[in-house]
Amino acid sequence: MQAVAVFPSQKKLELVDVPQPELQGPNDVLLRVREVGLCGTDREISSFEYGSPPPGSDHLILGHESLAEAIEVGRAVRSLKPGDLAVAMVRRPCPHAECRPCRAGRSDFCVTGDFTERGIKGADGFLTDYVVDDESFLVKVPRALADVAVLVEPLTVVTKAVDQASAIFSRLPYDTGPQRGLALGAGPIGLLAAMVLVADGFDTVVYSRDAEDSKQADLVRSLGAHYASSTTHTLESLAQASGKFDVILEAVGFAPLMMGATQMLKRNGVLALTGVPPEAATAELNTGRALRNLVLRNEVVFGTVNAGRRDYLSAIQNLEQFLVLFPDSVRRLITHRGRLDEVPQMLTHKQGIKNVVEMSRAA
């Protein structure tokens, strides 16, 4: 069967032939991959910025945003049967006994850094026809979500951030009531963040560099949210025009915007950072004012990466809710579906919002 793999030492990305995997243990599931979403992480790996092959291999099969169909299950598998749809979790626990998060099934909080990630770090991904995975890393998806379930994995970035923000809000001695939310960025994560905020009842603004008449801005308005373009508004003018925010979900990875966002919080507000800026990025900021605000206004700024099973389950619930609230908008996030042999082209020439590779269609 075919797969798309990067060869980091030779700096090449190509279609390769690999043997079809088979069930090894009683908890294994053989899956036929249906769809794989592409994102900035795949673009960075395919430009050799990071990503590492499995031990002993010279190549890494790409793809971490999966949707697959169970074909055959090991004798101990209980949660999936042939024909079921599933999304695979990306990160796998480190081997160290002392890593309490990994031992508790929350490798997204791994403290050693020796975790693996399918399609990213030390383990092959899903841009191929068949994969085998342990049941404990698979999350069943309802059939009704088939055409959008490839968005589950990117949505877990948002559901994990929201889960943590809720934990932080629970410290407050009052019901926070209807709140104001800001999503920074109008890529797939920013738009999914806007959908979660709207679905949760937030008065929602999305701020991004896309123009006011862009596809992205239209999609934001179709949710009942407001769109502000950085081509016409600075962050400060946005705060003056529309007020500050209780919750900010950042999904840009542009350091000056990430730092500037700390000035957009209301008292007791929470800023979740999910973008990953280049290490050399710098940003100018009045640090005295920023730190004073953090203290004197009870603000919380936190970073979040990866997700645990509960975040996948929340993402599935959210997608079900989106299909009731704004079904067309959620489907419009996927702007291009291509074939496996188009992946190199799709990685270098991104078009629209979310690009998805169509591997197989089930009956």
Q: Exposed/middle/buried for 248, CB within 10 Å: 0-12, 13-18, 19+?
A: buried
Contact (Cβ atoms closer than 8 angstroms) between residue 23 and residue 74: yes
Helix (H) or strand (E) holding 336: strand 334-338
Nearer to Zn ion, 187 or 260 (CB): 187
State in angstroms the smallest separation of the CB of 184 from Zn ion: 18
Helix (H) or strand (E) holding 293: helix 287-296
Ordered strands of the 226-229 beta sheet: 226-229, 203-208, 180-184, 245-250, 265-273, 300-303
Nearer to Zn ion, 94 or 356 (CB): 94
Contact (Cβ atoms closer than 8 angstroms) between residue 200 and residue 176: no
Strands 354-358 and 203-208: unpaired
Candidates 39, 70, 157, 259; binder of Zn ion (CB under 5 A) is: 39
- Piece of the chain touching Zn ion by CB under 5 A; list 81-89, 108-116, 122-130, 290-298: 108-116
State in angstroms the smallest separation of the CB of 159 from Zn ion: 14
- Piece of the chain touching Zn ion by CB under 5 A; list 48-56, 62-70, 77-85, 242-250: 62-70
Q: Quick check: 94 binds Zn ion (CB under 5 A)?
A: yes
Nearer to Zn ion, 110 or 152 (CB): 110
- Piece of the chain touching Zn ion by CB under 5 A; list 54-62, 84-92, 105-113, 265-273: 105-113
Q: Quick check: 100 binds Zn ion (CB under 5 A)?
A: no
Contact (Cβ atoms closer than 8 angstroms) between residue 7 and residue 59: yes
How far apart (Å, rounded) are the C-alpha atoms in residues 4 and 19? 13
Nearer to Zn ion, 153 or 246 (CB): 153
How far apart (Å, rounded) are the C-alpha atoms in residues 335 and 325? 20
Under rule CB under 5 A, which residues in 272-331 are in contact with Zn ion?
Answer: none
Number of residues located near Zn ion, criterion CB under 5 A: 8
Q: Quick check: 99 binds Zn ion (CB under 5 A)?
A: yes
Q: Quick check: 189 binds Zn ion (CB under 5 A)?
A: no
Residues in touch with Zn ion (CB under 5 A): 39, 41, 65, 94, 99, 102, 110, 112
